[in-house]
Amino acid sequence: MVDLKVQLEEWSETITSVREQVERVIVGQQDVVEQLLWCIFAGGHALLEGIPGLGKTKLVQTVADALKLSFSRIQFTPDLMPTDITGTNIIQFGAQGETSYRFQSGPIFSHIVLADEINRATPKTQSALLEAMQEKTVTIGGETHRLPLPFFVLATQNPIENEGTYPLPEAQLDRFMIKINVSYPTRDELKEIVRRTTSAIHLQAEAVATAEQVLDVQLGAKGVLVADEVLDYAVRLMMMSHPDQESVPDSVRKYVRFGSGPRGIQSIISISKVRALTAGRLHVSVGDIQKVAVPALRHRLLLNYEGQAMRVSTDTIIEDMIAAMEKSR
């Protein structure tokens, strides 16, 4: 029988090794790297949002380098078709003139798929990802094809440009386990970025984890314990995002139209388990729930007209929810 303590150390070491390799290349953005790895080792998909030039694409490519996984990049554009993502059946002609169909897979058939500027594609093309993200399969011509495991969609989008973009529908946003806001670097970080990108030195992450190790950590994370009182805390926090509930913060009642659905609480618990594993624990704490709540819920709160007009941040609303939970404890 394998010692659980040894397994815990191996899982934690795998996550730490990947993070160290990514941080060798990416300057700053420790919170962004940490949240992205939470999502990957929880088996979910991530949406990275930030202005152009902050290294979102570079970050995803570096994570792919640190993992011995297949990687493909899809540049989303208005003329991109669903079959450009999933693949299609092509006609083959035999020696005697007979015809047959053969499935030619698209770039979605990779372990890590970078959906670059996902909001530039039309809703029809965006919807091609829904089955892949939820079921990890692709159906073409009535035939279902399984995607390689592990499978992640890591998407990027620009929050400030509206021309030529198509906002992601709520149904697709909900498929992302986490939404990561990529912030602007500090002055010292900018200087280091310039040094690295304008010199002859080329830093690249080394592959330190295989597909089997990633799947092993994912399985290990599922076994992390969640006490009933911690789960109750997480459920009450998520329910507080609904304006029709009792004892919700004023910001929720005033600015939120719809709160988070069940996938919100599933994401909170899944990510919290990985965070606990990273810290060398086999149990989730309330602190884990509080730490992951903002990135897990920020894209699941639908603001009403007043909230949109006032440019209210969902991050602020979630922080109000956490503060209200603390007062009630």
In this prediction, residue 163 carries a pLDDT of 60
- Inter-CA distances, 124 with 78, 90, 163, Å: 10, 21, 18
Q: Give me the percent of the chain exceeding a pLDDT of 90.
A: 26
**Residue written as token pair 């890591």:** 154
User: 301 versus 56: which is more confidently predicted?
Assistant: 301
One domain, residues 216 and 114: yes
Tell me which residue has tokens 């404890």.
329
Same domain, 214 and 229: no
In terms of Cα–Cα distance, which of 77, 87, 204, 75 is closest to 143? Answer: 87
- Whether the CB-CB separation of 91 and 99 falls below 8 Å is answered with yes
- Residue 168 in domain: yes
Which of 223, 266, 217 is closest to 37 using CA atoms? 217
Pairing label, strands 137-140, 143-146 = antiparallel
Instruction: State how far the Cα of 132 lies from the Cα of 128, in Å rounded to an integer.
Output: 8
pLDDT digits (tens, 9 = 90+) for 193-203: 888 878 777 77
Does residue 100 surpass a pLDDT of 80? no
Peptide bond into 148 cis (omega under 30): no
| Per-residue pLDDT, 298 | 92
The answer to whether residues 244 and 171 belong to one domain is no
CA separation for the pair 96, 58 (Å, rounded):
49
Q: Domain boundary at 222, 242, 275, which?
A: 222
Categorize the per-residue pLDDT at 294 as very low, low, confident or very high, splitting at 50, 70 and 90: very high
Task: Give per-residue pLDDT as tens, 218-236.
Answer: 988 888 899 999 999 999 9
Write the CATH number for 324. 1.10.8.80
* Contact status, residue 121 vs residue 78, Cβ threshold 8 Å: yes
Residue 202: which CATH number?
3.40.50.300
The structure tokens listed for 262 are 């069940």
From residue 211, give the alpha-carbon distance in Å to each of 52, 70, 148.
Answer: 31, 9, 10
| Residue that wins the pLDDT comparison between 127 and 256 | 256
Closest CA to 74 of 51, 107, 41: 107
One domain, residues 120 and 148:
yes
When comparing pLDDT for 44 and 103, which is higher?
Answer: 44
On whether the CB atoms of residues 106 and 83 are closer than 8 A, the answer is: yes
5-9, 76-80, 223-227, 242-246: which range is least confident on average? 5-9
What does the alpha-carbon distance between residue 121 and residue 155 come to, in Å, rounded to a whole number?
Answer: 12
Distance, in Å, from the CA atom of 12 to the CA atom of 80, rounded to the nearest integer, reads 40
Question: Alpha-carbon distance 281 to 301, whole Å?
Answer: 30
Average predicted confidence (pLDDT) for the chain: 85
Q: How confident is the model at residue 84, as a pLDDT?
A: 85
CA distance 319 to 216: 33
Q: Give 162's pLDDT tier (boundaries 50, 70, 90).
A: low
Total domain count, the chain? 2
Chain segment 207-218, per-residue pLDDT in tens: 888 889 889 989
Which domain range does residue 242 map to?
Answer: 224-329
Average pLDDT (161-173) is 72
Total length of the chain: 329
Distance CA(151)–CA(54), nearest Å, equals 25
Whether 240 and 287 share a structural domain: yes
DSSP string of 214-247, one letter each residue: HHHHHHHHHTSB--HHHHHHHHHHHHTTSTTSTT
Would 229 be classed as within a structural domain? yes
Same domain, 180 and 293: no
Please report which confidence band the pLDDT of residue 160 belongs to, taking 50, 70 and 90 as the band edges. low
| Residue ending a domain, choose from 222, 243, 278 | 222
Rounded alpha-carbon distances, angstroms, from residue 90 to 83, 94, 227 = 11, 13, 52
β-pairing, 87-93 vs 99-105, is antiparallel
Average pLDDT over residues 151-180: 80
Residue 59 one-letter amino acid: L
